[in-house]
Every structure is written in C-alpha cells, then in structure tokens.
Structure 1
Amino acid sequence: MLAKGFSKPTDRVERLRSMIVNAVPCIEAERAVLITESYKATEGLPMIMRRAKALENILNNLTVTIRDDELVVGTLTKAVRSCQLFPENSYKWVMDEFDTIETRMADPFKISEEDKATLREVLPYWEDKTISDLASSYMSEKTQECIANGIFTVGNYFFGGVGHIIIDYDKAIRRGYKAIIQDAVEALKSFDCNDPEFIQKTQFCKAVITVLSAAINFAKRYSDKAKEMAAVETNPTRKAELLQIAANCENVPANGATNFYEACQSFIITQMILQVESSGHSESPGRFDQYMYPYLEKDLANGSITKDFAQELLDCVFVKLNDLNKVRDQISAQAFAGFQVFQNIGAGGQTEDGMDATNELSYMMMETVAHLRLSAPSFSIRVWQGTPDEFLYRACELARLGYGLPAMYNDEVIIPALTNRGISLHDARGYGLIGCVEPSVPGKEQGWHDAAFVNVAKILEITIHNGKVGDLQIGPKTGEVDTFKTLEDFMEAFQKQIEYFVYYVAEADNCVDYAHMERGELPFLSSFVADCISDAKGICAGGAKYNFTGPQAFGVADSGDSVYAIKKHIFDNKDITFAELKEAMDANFGYPVDSDTAPCSASAETDIEKDLYDQICKILGKEGISFSKQSTAAAAPAICSNNEKYERIRAMMDATECFGNDIDEVDMIARRCAQIYCYEVEKYRNPRGGQFQAGIYPVSANVLFGKDVGALPDGRLAKKPLADGCSPRAGKDVKGPTAAAASVAKLDHEVASNGTLYNQKFLPSAVAGDQGLMNFAAVIRSYFDKKGMHVQFNVVDKETLLDAQAHPENYKDLVVRVAGYSAMFTELAKEVQDDIINRTEQHF
C-alpha cells in the first residue's frame, strides 16, 4: 500500500484548532494608539529612530496574552484570529468603513464601539503623514489614470507595509538577538566619522539595537505572564507547562535556542514581531524543515524529546500562524479574499550544495497540515529529480484530503530562473517560497514581490479599441481594427500597448518604493537580512544582497485564447471581419450588461462601482476622477436588435480551440502574450538598485478585476472572471489533466522568475486508491519534466461546493485552494466561490 493515512491530532490540538475555526475576527485599536503616541513624542528625531522608538513602545506596552492550552506563546491581539491597525501605512479607508466593515462582502471584521471612538480620536493625526499619502504625491496624473481605469493596481504596498520576504530565521533562532545586537555594536565601532554616510549608518545601527532590545523585553514579558499564571494555576500539568513556557521565553529569543521546544518558541516570537512592525503581506517562514531540523534531530537522538511531543509542538506552531490576521480595505479584501496573511512555509527540495534536503521534519509538517485542516499557513513543497518517490506520494496523499495543500514547486525551473537574475547558484538552491508562489532567497533578498496586478486582458481590450477606454484615449493610438491586415499587425499594436502601460506600472511601483524608503524603514526585519547590518542600511534603502520588484500579470489565458480566435476567424478563415467582431464585443454579444455583468470602468453608478470609484479617489487624494463610459456598456441596449447576429459570432468564437488542451498553435500564442509582458517588465530598475522581474499569478484578483474588462474575442462576456494565474479558462481544458498541464508547461516559466501559478481541480474519485495516487504523482512529474514551475490542487467535487454555498453552517471548516493560498470556503465572497466551482473537474 502506498497510502499510509494520517494520525489523529491530540485533544489539545483539536481544542486549539476549534478556537481558530470558531473565532470571529475583530479589529483592535491598541497598536494604533501606541504608534500614534510614539510618533507624537518623536517628531524631532530622524525617521529611522522614530520607527525604532515606535516599535519599542508597541513591544513594551502591547497586551500580553497567553491562550488556554498553548505550548508556544506570542500573539498580537487579545481576541483570537484578530488584527491590529497600521495607520502609518494608510488609514482613511478604516474610518470610512467603520459602519460597513462588519457586513461587507469579503473578509468582514467586527469592531467595538469603544475601539471606533478611540480610533476616531487617534487616526486624524496621520493626515498627510502616511506612506500612502507620500506615494500618491509622487505619482503622475497618467499613472493615477491607469489605476483608476483598472489597467493595474499597486495596492499591496500602496496601502500596507512591506512584506513578501523570508528573513534569516536560522540566524534569529540559532544565534539569538543578543548576538545580533553585538553585531550592530561592532559595526558602530567600525564606522569612519569622515564617511559622508557616517550619520545615517550610526542612526541605523542604533535603531537595530533599540528594536532588538525591545524584542527581548517582549519575550521577557511573556515569561513574567506565564509565571504569574502558573502561580494561581491549580492543575499541576498546566502549571508545569506554564513554568516551562516562562523558562523558554526567559532564554529565547535573547539567546540561541538549545532545543527544539525553544526553537519553536523563538520562531513564533520572531514571526509575531515581524508582523507587528509592518503588517506586511507574506512574512513567510520559508524552509522551516531546514533550519528547524537540527534541533529536532539532536533532541530525538539524545532522548530529550519524544516524537509525539515534537509533533504536538509542531502542530501548536502552525496553530499560532493561524491566529495572525490582517484587515484590508473593501476593494483589496476582494482581491485577497479569505482572511489571509500569506505566510508560506516549505519543505523538501535540495540543499545549497545540490543534495536532497528531505528530512524527518519534512514529513512531520505534512502530518501537521492533515491534523489541523486549516487554511494557514500556506504549505509548499519543492520537487526536483532527486525528490524521493515516497515524499511525493505523501504530498499527493495530503493533497487529496482536499485542503488545497501542499502547493508544489519545480527546482529544475526555479533555480535556473533565479540564477538568470544574477543570484548565485548556492543561494538559488536555497530558495524558499513567499506569499502565493514567489521564489526568494531567505535572508538575502528583498524581492518586493506582488508589487502590482497588471490586467493583460484589459490591455488587449484597449488595443482593440485603439488605445481607448470608452471615449478616453488612455493608451497610444495603435490602429483601428479595420487597419490590421495581418495578425502581426495586431500583435505589434498589442506589444506597443503593453510597453506603454508597463512604463507606468514601473513608475507607480517606484513611487511606492520611494515612499517606504522615506517613511517606512524596518529596523527589526532588516536585522535578519544580509547585508543590512554590515552595510548599515535597511531593506527599504537597498540593504539586502538581492533587490527586485515583481509586478504580476493575469489574464494570460484570456489574451492567448482571444488572439488565437482573432487569428483563426479573422485572418485565416476570414469568416468574420475585425470590425464585426468589435461591434459584437461592444454590444457584449447582445447580452445585457446589468449590475452583475457590467464592467466596473463603465460608470460609477452601481454600489460596487461607486465604492471602487470613491476608494481610488481617496487613496490618490484626488476628487472628481471620472470613469469614462466604456464602449461595451455604452453600446449595449437592454434588448439588442442584433442579438441573433451577435450570439452567432459569440458561439463561433467561444467554440474555438483553447489554451489548456495541448494544441501547440494555441499554446504558443498564449506563451507569446505572456512573454511580451515579461520581457517588457525586466527592462526596468527600482530605487534599491535592483531589477524588475515579472510574475503570472492573480491571488483572487482575476475575479475582482475581471469586472474591469469588457467582452473579449474568445467569447467571454463583460465583467466575468478572467482565468486564474497560468491556468486555462474555467471549463475550457477538456482533454484531461496531462493535456492541460502540458499546455501550461509551454509558457516560458523561467522568464517569469517572480513566480507563476497553476491551479488544477480533481474529482476525489480520480485520485482514489493507490492507482489514483500513482496517477496523481505522475501528472506532477510529467508537468515538472516539461518545465512547469508550480502546481496546486483542489480535490473536491462540485456538488460538495454547491451544498456548502447553500448550507454554509454545515461546512464551516471546508478548506479550498483559491489561488496561491487556501481559505475557508464559506468565508469567501460568492463570486470567488463561483469561480472555484466553475473550474474544470479533471479525471483520468
């Protein structure tokens, strides 16, 4: 038997899991009060010291909470699975949403009237002082216009803190904070006072010493709290646990961990402080099985820990990662639906000298995921030619439990992609995964991943309309459709539009980058990234060894299918003219564009459109930015006299061969559409001295920003979801999983070094039994042999998902894969649920 099954979690772990599942996410005001208090008191200091003093104030005064049953401690909120606010990044949207945030479509949060009153008092201090304000002030009107018209968004760092990074956890856990403070002290001694950067370097190192000292005190406060609780605890077992927690927090993270238990505690304290410093997306643990295994191996060898207790500790660590949460504005919440913090944690792959890295902890992590059945953290495995079959089979066995985990990544593509960007082979082999799908070098890279969502399908639509969105000439004039004599004429126009808009993507990203450099430096995080301390320069100022910016595209399959449909019917078969197709598209193929199907950019009249309109105006600090009426909405009457004609055109275009069926002619066009974007992106550089690199993944933005796109040549109606990531369009990959995977593998993944994302959905019956397990693994091996970068799976049937929609109370803990992350199905907005339901159910 290949299938081994999974053990049951302990009663403690089940109770902790239930605590997460049953939690009602809340917003708490405590951090906002503390940072505002600090900023008011430090207005005369350099910004790096203001940042350090602010974190010091937070760590010294944030409420210390130890929850029932916990073996590892450290939390940022009094309530479970709740969050703090970060007004230094952006804040106006919070006040605007006080009365709607509890009932909004995606990721609702409760907030008490007391906290609302407190926040109304402290938040106005941040008027014109936020990172978002500064970034907006740098942006040109053209960039703002592009954002307002749904061509791209830079919301991730525009509204929030810097994240998408893997620090050097080994350094934090093995050496301890005191040793790193000593590094900063030695660096201070080495500075030459005649160096023009002497003052800046001195301030940076002093900031590092300040925050690490405060972090040590933060852990000490947990030690004191555990002792205080132990003093009144009547249960002798729990009393002993609390005293052990106190002893652990007394030693770590101040000093290096001496055993697996201390290493787990040091890891959690470090992770919590990273999150409270900036609330950055995707502060990812990276290769957990590599830096934690030496402690486990030693403890198991000398008998100081049992395998069962080590497993329970590991389960408790993963529960703690589920306790973290993050609130976003209502528009961003739709793009990142599912209460996700995007902490990607990994196992497997190869060592930095090219040997297989799989170890006992790698397998235990899979056991933990099976025990918890939760959406976080995002668990990933690395696969290469040396990956043991047993490890891959075990991963497939975990995947078919139906939690959307693990995601799987191909070393044979990612390592060359990274070396192509100038990363050394040694460092590239040690890559970890961040956020959704982004490869990054732990402790050495600030990749600025997930820097923008670029709507390639929207740009294709703009090309067809000669650079216009409605009556607004937003892009260059590249030709009316009746002037294109060949497909190459059209592709040349498409490429010019891509070139034009990527320029403004780069501008927008660099404006946000500069704003964080000036107002958002992170001395704590920088302490664990090379070469920040030795160069006395924070990550936002370019202190990391490797620096990148990674804006990602979506709508690739839609663009590829559309271009192929144009090629076949307009230029090859000549059974329709381009002008006729455009007319049908402008009329949405005769279908009414109602409130559920009209493009967001058509007007600002429906509720969701007005919300988006108002939100963008507030973010950009502009009034009266108007959405031009898009031709698809303006030209579509409620009842179209040309319905029959337009429906005939749509049926013909919709029946055209599609990406996802291993048809070279189709797949190569999708590949070309993606390459045009990727090659254009890599022409640009960022303020930290690094290069832009492209990715192809959407989070769940393919649903939200599909609303900005009118009807497309492939027969897709206006406002419908776009394809997710590199995946074929939903329901169009009809020749089985190997054909679909073969198509996706033909994309040039190595040039998309910021990451690509491929979702597959299997019927449970397709992967049942040992034969199903072998077939499952064979699809993955085949896809990776053909140079696919990433794949992840939903193993669930449509009927289950439909029943969960109808009866959410019965499926409170149903976990599904959304995009580069998993989420509780019933917590997703219905439109995201529908997108998952509509994905092709593969079988053999």
Structure 2
Amino acid sequence: MLRTASRIEQLIDHLYDHDPIVESERALLVTESYQQTENQPMIIRRAKALENILGKMKVVIRPNELIVGNLATSPRGTQIFPEFSNDWLEDEFDRIEKRAGDKFIVPEQVKQDLSEAFKYWKGRTTNELATELMSPETKNAMNAGVFTVGNYYFNGVGHISVDYKLVLEKGLKGIKEEVCTALKSLDYGDPEIVKKSQTLKAMSISLDAVMNYARRLADEAKLEADRETDSNRKSELLQIAANCARVPANPATSFYEALQSFWIIQAVIQIESNGHSISPMRFDQYMYPFYKKDVENGRLDEAEAQKLLDVLWVKFNDVNKIRDEASTKAFGGYPMFQNLIVGGQDKEGMDATNPLSYACLQATANTRLPQPSISIRIWNKTPESLIHKAGEVSRLGLGMPAYYSDEVIIPSLVNRGISLTDARDYGIIGCVEPQVGGKTEGWHDAAFFNIPKVLEITLNNGYANGEKIGLSTGDFSSFTTFDQLKSAFEEQMKYFVKLLVNADNSVDVAHGERAPLPFLSSMVEGCIEKGLSLQEGGAKYNFTGPQGVGIANAGDALMAIKKLIYEDNKLSIHELKNALDTNFGKEQNQAITNSEPVGTNKDLSQLSTDELVEMLKDLLNDNDTNIKKKDTNASQPMNEKDGEYIRQLLINGAPKYGNDIDVVDQMVRKVALIYCKEVQKYLNPRGGTFQPGLYPVSANVSCGIETKASADGRFAGEPLADGVSPVSGSDQNGPTAALNSVAKLDHHIASNGTLLNQKFHPSALAGEEGLRNLSALVRSYFEQKGMHVQFNVVSKETLLDAQKNPEKYKNLVVRVAGYSAHFVSLDKSIQQDIIARTEQQF
C-alpha cells in the first residue's frame, strides 16, 4: 500500500476537479432491454434490464483506487433512470449547467441520446401512473404547496439498508441457493404461485447479473495490470482482480474482501434504481469480525486497515444523482444520504462499541468529505471515549457525526410493532430515519407536509392563493375564542393529511406495478420467503414515513395569535389578516408564491433591547393608528410602517419556542401531535402503517417559498424552521434552553425521525473543556428524551466569506439538514438558511 498518504488527496482531486457529467449509457441500455422484453412479466423485465446494464456498461477503475465498482464512467457522473420520470429533465437540459446549485454538464450527444430514448417511455413511467391514480383534490393540494411527494414521485424509492452481513457471510451464491430452494418448494396449488415464481426467477437472474459484473471488474483489473509499468500499482491491480473474482459471489475471507464485496452491493443497488439513501447503517458491527480477525492474525495492522477505510470513504463520494431544479432547493449539495452509524447496543442490549467504531469516525476526520453521512448511537453505557472521539470530529466543522438516542428510538420502534431484538439493532437511513437493516421497507421521506401552509389556509377558510382547496371551517373574523381557531386548524390538518396519504399510496402502487426491484429484494428478509418484491410488501416490516415541516413557525404563530388577539387585546383579527395578506405592508397581492424571500428577521436578532424599544417608540409616534384593540370588523388601510410594527409585535409580543418557556413549547408540542396522531391512523398498500417524522431535509426552504407571511413574524417566501429546531434567531437563551424546549416534544410518536440542528462558534468547542461541554449537552438532552441532535461548528464570518469567495472554500463541508454538503455547491437560498441559524456559545 504505497503512496497512501497522497493517495487520498489524489482520489479526492480526481473526483472534484470538474462539475459532474450527465451520462446516457444506462438510459439507453434500460430502454434497449425493455424494447426486447415486451409482454413479459414486469419483474422479469426489471431483472433482465439490470442484466443488460451490468453486462454492457463500461467498467472503470479510477487512478489509485483500491476498491472498485463504478456507477458512471466519469467521476461523480450521474446516469439517467427514464423508467421513473423524464419529462422534467428534457425541459431543463439547457438550464442544468446554469443552476445556482447542483450543476451538471450535459454534453450535446447525451441530450440527443436521451431525447431519443425518452420517446419510448411516454406513458410508461411510475410518475405518470401515480399521477393517474391520485384524486383531483390531492393534486390541487400539491399544486398549492401543502405537501410534496416529489421524492418518489419522480425517482426511485431507495431509503434502504440490506442485509450486508448475509452477503459477507454467505455470498450471492448462498443467497441464490435460498432463492432456488424457495422456488422448488412452491406449491402448485398456491393461487399466488405464478407471481411468486416469477419474482424468485427475477431474483436469480439479478444475482447472476451482479456476479457477472464483479467478474467484469476482475477482468478489467487484470487488463490494467498487464499494461501497468509501476510494480507497486501492478500488484494492487492484481489484488483488486483477485478480490472481485471472489466477492461478492462467495463469502469474504478478509477485511479487504469484505470492503470490496460491500462496495459492489452498494453500487449495484443504485444502478438498479436511482433511489438515494442507500445506507450502510451498522457498518462497525457486520464488518468488525473481518477487521478483528485480520488485525489479530497479523494480516493487517490497524494503520493499514485505516487506509483501506479511508479509500472506501472517498469512494462513497463517487455516487451522484441529478434531481429536477425545484428539488435541488430541498436536496441541495449533491446529497446521497448514505448513512453509516457506529456504537449503541447489540441485539442483547449490551454495548456494541468496538475498535472499528473509532476507526470509522477517524476515516471521516481523515477524508473530510460529506459522504458517508456518519452518525453515532448513544445510550447510558456508551463509553465516554467514543463520545469524546465524536466530539473531536464534530469540531472539525463537517457537521458530523449526528447523535442519536437509543433510549428514545428503541422504544419508539417497539411501539410500531418491531421486536425488541430487532429494534436494538436499528440504524439510521438517509437523514435521521430509524430503521432495522435488512428487514424493512421504510419509505422514509415519503412526503414533506407544510404545516404553516395549513394554518395559512385555515386563516383563509380553506383558500390558498385565491383558490378553494381546503375545507370551509369558518371565517377567521368570526372566531371569538382561540379554541375555535385551534379546532378549525385541526380539521384542515386532518383533511390534508388524508390527501397526503392518497398521494403517497398512489406513488406506492405505481412503484409496485412498474418498478419492482428483484436484486434489492433478494437481500431483505421476508422477500424470498414470501416470493414478493419489496415494492409489493415482501419485507418483514413495512412503513410509510411522511415528514411534518415547520412546527416551530406554526406553534409560534398560534402562540402570538392566542396572546395578542385573544388574551392581551393588543391586535385585532382584521389587523393581523391585513398584515399577513400584504406581507406586512410590502406587497398588496395576496398570492405570494415562488418568489425569493422579500425580507429577513436577522436585523431584529442583532438589535439590543434598548434599540428595539426605541424602534417601536418611533413606529408608534409616526403612526396615527397605533395598535390598540379595535373592533374585529373594523376596516382601515395600513401603510408599510403599520405592517412592520405589527410584525415586530408578533415577534416580540409573545414568547418563542426555543427558550425553555413552557407555554409556547407546549403549543409547538400540540402542533406536532396534531400532525403525528393523524398520520399514524393510516395504512399503506404493502400491508404496513404510516409513521410520522419531523424533519425537512432542506425542504424548509422550498416550503417557505410556497408560504405567505405567517403570524410568527416571518415574511412571505422566507424559509420555515429547520426540523424541530426553533425559528432561526428566536432562541435567545443559549443552547441548553433550546434543547430543553425541543425535548418537550413527543419524540417517541415521531418514530420516522426528528431533526435538531445547532450551530456553534468554533471557540465554543475548543480544548478539552469544549469537548466535555458538548458531551454533557448531548447526554443531558438525551436524558430528557430528545431523539437526535447535530452540530455545525463554523463561524458566520467564514460562511459569509465563502459566499463571496467560493474559490477559497472548495473543501468547506457544512451540515445542511440531515446531511452534510460542500457549502459552495448549495443554492444560495440554502446557504442563507444555514447562515441565519443561531450561533451558540456555552
């Protein structure tokens, strides 16, 4: 293993030298296969399509690689998956290179190839079928920005972790034997035998295709070795060839083979379907036996094992995906959400920390790249040394690791019907979603539900942007008590959650009919036994997990309305409605959507109390119609100064979530519970249940664009609060108070995950004292039954300078939401959201 010190730098430079390229190879090969398999069962067509792709795609071994397996020919290149959707891509061909974030190069020949291939797919995509299955009311709600199911509406599902341990210990040949045994044991009297037999045959075809792909990699490595003049590199290539000739077909016999076997599986899952969040999960558990054996018998020392890990960590960043322009505002920074978690308990409830747990954290520190998205499980027996190591990585400023509480997640999963043994073996999928690896089809990120938008519709008696899309729950001006408003809000929430379920289930059925995934299914418990693909309910556990977005905004807004209108009589309903409809005097049009944010609260957060008082005095002195309680039905024009005064009153006249003030914290808790309790009532087409989550990825930005001004003092178009975090700038009492507020939420019911971001100035975590403070903060939060927390450790000044001089900060990685990304690759709206977050100090 020569040149390893510089190898990592060379591998990283090779990946990031240029903007990624869109490629057409997979699109052409999948189209070719589909044209040849008309009238065959869909799952057989899917297997043969994978066989065609893996048998003909160009295999590439990049310079200095030790672990091989490419998804595209070019570094960080992206393939196209026309079977899910394609119209949007053709429409955006000429804009993709000009995007503010997530740019791709699209060669002219690729455009021509794809345009030709797309002709075949007209009327055949999962997207088109899902659209046909949805009710008109559902589509109207989506168009109005109440929720989006775009993640799986346009793409593959992903969000999966297969049984990597099974692959490493039995090999694909062993899994194929299970498939063949199941096929032979089918009962000809079983009414489902036709479907089951086709599914099992498709699995067999797919497994053979992957083993053939590995042999092609081995052949390519041998060819390169024959041409190589450097003896050290020749030796490396011959070892790569030997590894790929053995795995993943056979059980791994060494740590190096196990890493190579793992990577081929990781790559092919994403070649079969473009769903992201293909997550390694408990990597330190299923890889440790190979690590331990090789270190103990002298085959590897710990330093050599670390070098192999570092090389794999770079390889994770070769995976890429193109999304439509609107989605890049919700998933900015080329994220792939490959979540890898260390620590926690084993299935018997004992601490599972091992030396590989520390080595994984070190690999993130060594490579300083956004992938894998590394996480750590914490419980009361987690060694302080592991948290200390995690803190050292946190203060590097990468936004990683994310911290998760076993004490909350394990019981929350048991409450959803998962056995205790399985629940103890959970990992994290994608952003923050708990899942049992190798046994679950979780459908996390199934939707993003805009809770402040529902409150906006409630205040307008079912109207949004001038169109009636909700229920008639009463004119706001007629409500004489806050409870009337709360009841109306609950009714609107119930209605729109039901439409959300209709949208998700429509997309779910479309994937089951048009895009079953036989290779992926072969590595998840239940599918072989049932003879069903994952998309048809084959997994042991089945869920659908839509996310609620903006609970802090909705809770703060309801608190302001309750206090200022119904308790203190400082504001009339008419004054509030007029202020919101005119964007606090900045706009006269009531429909303000799809616009850049027109204002900011940041100026307020910078004011001292005396300055704020003086500003309010000036507004009162200049305004002949100062804010005293007026008749609810009074009609009076407002100028811009009136609107700004009302905005400041909303911001400062009522308590805000995030400051450990129980009355408003309980209001936010109620908002979250309204959403969560409604979501969990429903079933999905795979025989599973819906489970709610409270995290946005970065959809709080795009949801904010769709939402008019809100009664928490937020301008129209501004981002919503991030996950369960307080509104940026409103948490003024320090990090402990913010965590105390968030811990009051019911994190157990939000079993699909909650997300809390905190931002610290680097000086806050300096030295051993800084690490001890961070550990104490995390443990204290988890003792109060918080589920998750993650930290950006970067100064506001650094982020502002990176905006102005991006060429100086190419390697700056920050936490966006449940993932990290290179800051300069983000759309400016997401950059601004990160900059605006409260910068904490201990």
Smaller-chain TM-score bracket: over 0.9
1:331-381 alpha-carbon deviations (Å, 9 max, x no partner): 112110000111111111110110111110000011100111111111111
AA aligned to 1:152 is: F
AA aligned to 1:764 is: P
Shift of 1:9: 7.3
Equivalent residues of 1:405, 1:822 under 8 A apart:
yes
AA aligned to 2:829 is: E
Range with greater deviation from structure 2 (456-465 or 483-492): 483-492
AA aligned to 1:55 is: L
Corresponding position of 1:31: 26
* TM-score using structure 2 length: 0.94
Shift of 1:593: 7.3
Q: 1:747 aligns with which of 745, 751, 770?
A: 745
AA aligned to 2:286 is: Y
Corresponding position of 1:410: 405
Q: In the aligned structure 2, how far is the partner of 1:482 from the partner of 1:773?
A: 53
Corresponding position of 1:645: 642
Shift of 1:464: 0.8
AA aligned to 2:345 is: Q
Equivalent residues of 2:19, 2:103 under 8 A apart:
no
Shift of 1:600: 1.9
1:483 aligns with 2:481: no
- State the SS of the aligned residue for 2:97: coil
User: Which segments of 5 or more consecutive residues in structure 1 lack a partner in the other structure?
Assistant: 1-7, 604-639
Which residues of 2 match residues 536-547 of structure 1 at below 5 A? 536-547=531-542
Equivalent residues of 1:598, 1:707 under 8 A apart:
no
Shift of 1:229: 0.5
Which residues of 2 match residues 86-235 of structure 1 at below 5 A? 86-235=81-230
Q: In the aligned structure 2, how far is the partner of 1:314 from the partner of 1:470?
A: 52
Corresponding position of 2:687: 689
Q: In the aligned structure 2, how far is the partner of 1:585 from the partner of 1:9?
A: 59
Which residues of 2 match residues 431-510 of structure 1 at below 5 A? 431-510=426-505
* TM-score using structure 1 length: 0.93
AA aligned to 1:787 is: K
1:375-414 alpha-carbon deviations (Å, 9 max, x no partner): 1111111111111111011101110110000011111000
- State the SS of the aligned residue for 1:590: coil
Corresponding position of 2:722: 724
AA aligned to 1:575 is: K
Equivalent residues of 2:593, 2:708 under 8 A apart:
no
Corresponding position of 1:609: none
Q: 1:367 aligns with which of 362, 366, 374?
A: 362
Which residues of 2 match residues 752-767 of structure 1 at below 5 A? 752-767=750-765
- State the SS of the aligned residue for 1:72: coil
Shift of 1:657: 1.6
Range with greater deviation from structure 2 (686-695 or 10-19): 10-19
Which residues of 2 match residues 258-297 of structure 1 at below 5 A? 258-297=253-292
Shift of 1:644: 2.6
1:767-801 alpha-carbon deviations (Å, 9 max, x no partner): 11111111111111111111110001000000000
1:29-68 alpha-carbon deviations (Å, 9 max, x no partner): 0000000000000002100100000000001011000001
AA aligned to 1:28 is: E
Aligned residues: 799
- State the SS of the aligned residue for 1:79: coil
- State the SS of the aligned residue for 2:290: helix
- State the SS of the aligned residue for 2:317: helix
Corresponding position of 1:827: 825
Q: 1:657 aligns with which of 655, 658, 670?
A: 655
1:239 aligns with 2:234: yes
- State the SS of the aligned residue for 2:434: strand
- Percent of aligned pairs with the same residue? 54
Range with greater deviation from structure 2 (248-257 or 99-108): 99-108
AA aligned to 1:654 is: I
Equivalent residues of 2:76, 2:318 under 8 A apart:
yes
Q: In the aligned structure 2, how far is the partner of 1:709 from the partner of 1:122?
A: 38
Q: After the TM superposition, which segments of 4 or more aligned residues of structure 1 sit over 3 Å from their partners?
A: none
AA aligned to 2:639 is: N
Which residues of 2 match residues 300-379 of structure 1 at below 5 A? 300-379=295-374
Equivalent residues of 1:467, 1:473 under 8 A apart:
yes
Q: In the aligned structure 2, how far is the partner of 1:460 from the partner of 1:255?
A: 56
Corresponding position of 1:618: none
Q: In the aligned structure 2, how far is the partner of 1:754 from the partner of 1:281?
A: 17
Q: In the aligned structure 1, how far is the partner of 2:571 from the partner of 2:334?
A: 46
Q: In the aligned structure 2, how far is the partner of 1:727 from the partner of 1:20?
A: 34
Equivalent residues of 1:661, 1:734 under 8 A apart:
yes
Q: In the aligned structure 2, how far is the partner of 1:682 from the partner of 1:120?
A: 42
AA aligned to 1:287 is: R
AA aligned to 2:837 is: R
- State the SS of the aligned residue for 2:499: helix
Q: In the aligned structure 2, how far is the partner of 1:587 from the partner of 1:129?
A: 44
Equivalent residues of 1:23, 1:81 under 8 A apart:
no
Q: In the aligned structure 1, how far is the partner of 2:358 from the partner of 2:18?
A: 29
AA aligned to 1:757 is: L
Equivalent residues of 1:695, 1:754 under 8 A apart:
yes
Shift of 1:598: 7.5
Equivalent residues of 1:62, 1:76 under 8 A apart:
no
Equivalent residues of 2:465, 2:592 under 8 A apart:
no
Shift of 1:534: 1.2
Corresponding position of 1:711: 709
1:795-842 alpha-carbon deviations (Å, 9 max, x no partner): 000000000000000000100000000000000011110110010000
1:563-612 alpha-carbon deviations (Å, 9 max, x no partner): 11111111111111222211111111112479xx9732699xxxxxxxxx
Equivalent residues of 1:149, 1:601 under 8 A apart:
no
AA aligned to 1:31 is: R
Q: In the aligned structure 2, how far is the partner of 1:173 from the partner of 1:80?
A: 27
AA aligned to 1:675 is: L
Corresponding position of 2:593: 600
Equivalent residues of 1:662, 1:740 under 8 A apart:
yes
Corresponding position of 2:815: 817
Which residues of 2 match residues 571-586 of structure 1 at below 5 A? 571-586=566-581
Q: In the aligned structure 1, how far is the partner of 2:451 from the partner of 2:122?
A: 35
Shift of 1:470: 3.2
Which residues of 2 match residues 503-582 of structure 1 at below 5 A? 503-582=498-577
AA aligned to 1:660 is: G
1:786 aligns with 2:784: yes
AA aligned to 2:765 is: V
Q: In the aligned structure 1, how far is the partner of 2:89 from the partner of 2:698?
A: 22
Equivalent residues of 1:9, 1:371 under 8 A apart:
no
Equivalent residues of 2:26, 2:81 under 8 A apart:
yes
Shift of 1:745: 0.8
Q: In the aligned structure 2, how far is the partner of 1:699 from the partner of 1:599?
A: 23
Shift of 1:23: 3.5
- State the SS of the aligned residue for 1:751: coil
AA aligned to 2:510 is: A
Equivalent residues of 2:558, 2:667 under 8 A apart:
yes
Which residues of 2 match residues 64-83 of structure 1 at below 5 A? 64-83=59-78
Equivalent residues of 2:83, 2:124 under 8 A apart:
yes
Equivalent residues of 1:187, 1:533 under 8 A apart:
yes
Q: In the aligned structure 1, how far is the partner of 2:182 from the partner of 2:771?
A: 54
Equivalent residues of 1:164, 1:447 under 8 A apart:
yes
Range with greater deviation from structure 2 (642-651 or 458-467): 642-651
- State the SS of the aligned residue for 1:323: coil
- State the SS of the aligned residue for 2:556: helix
Equivalent residues of 2:214, 2:244 under 8 A apart:
yes
User: Which segments of 5 or more consecutive residues in structure 2 lack a partner in the other structure?
Assistant: 597-636
